Amino acid sequence: MTPKMTSVAFEGVNRLYTYFDDRHDLVPGDVVYVEGKMWRNPGQVQEVTETDFLNENQYNRVLEKVTVEVHGTYYSYGPYMFCFDEDAISFQQFQSWVLPPQRNENNRAAGGFTLTLDELGYCDFASESALELGMGCFEKEQVEFLSLIDGRGQALVKDGAWHTVNFAYDGKNVLNIVCKNEPEIFCEHCIGTCLTLRTLLQIFQNEFSDHYDGKEFTAVNRSLFYKVAAYSLKKITL
């Protein structure tokens, strides 16, 4: 691929940064992550220029192009956008919107905890402080992404840093729920996820019974959804 110089704008920064790229087919409007001091923040490509001579070591690189295209039919309710389609926003796609590329991610397995969803407050492994913090996590709507696909659940919780919660659900019990940041304990992020899951399932039963088949759903923070959807050139049905 022909080497290119790419000018990138970042939210809240009143200047453009220039990066070297020879791995992506970028056009103005694309959203990217980069090397250097702006590595934590997604930026939007403003200009792409081919170059015949370039000392690539003088420039930081474009690391990753973010997929901002949004597919599926979405419904707005409370702080969330819901989708019940197979091609809804995936966990990996949402994660790329809010986190830079994870180069050394710890993927070690953990057993997690199992509980009956309607009996969350009676778990002998749920400490009083964790329950209190978890209720705060739920009430502050810090679970910004939650999906359940064929019994496998994933959540992203914004509590200062981002926390990933994985679990399974069989229609009654939450199985092997674990927070990757604190795998040894049943922490507030697990509890906030359970409370959010329970609430969403009740909403689907009462308000979206014609759309939810009990197999899969995706819930995305509404404000972030609209922010990212504004980048997309694909048609979205709301």
- DSSP-derived secondary structure for 201-233: HHHHHHH-TTT--SSEEEEEEHHHHHHHHTT--
At 106 the pLDDT is 56
At 105 the pLDDT is 56
At 235 the pLDDT is 44
Q: Which residues of the chain have pLDDT under 50?
A: 234-235
| pTM assigned to the model | 0.86
pLDDT digits (tens, 9 = 90+) for 127-138: 999 999 999 999
CA geometry: angle 179, 183, 188, nearest 5 deg = 50
At 54 the pLDDT is 63
At 232 the pLDDT is 67
Q: What are the contacts of 158-167 at 24+ separation with CB within 8 A? A: 158/98, 159/188, 159/189, 162/98, 162/99, 163/189, 164/95, 165/189, 165/190, 165/193, 166/112, 167/112, 167/193
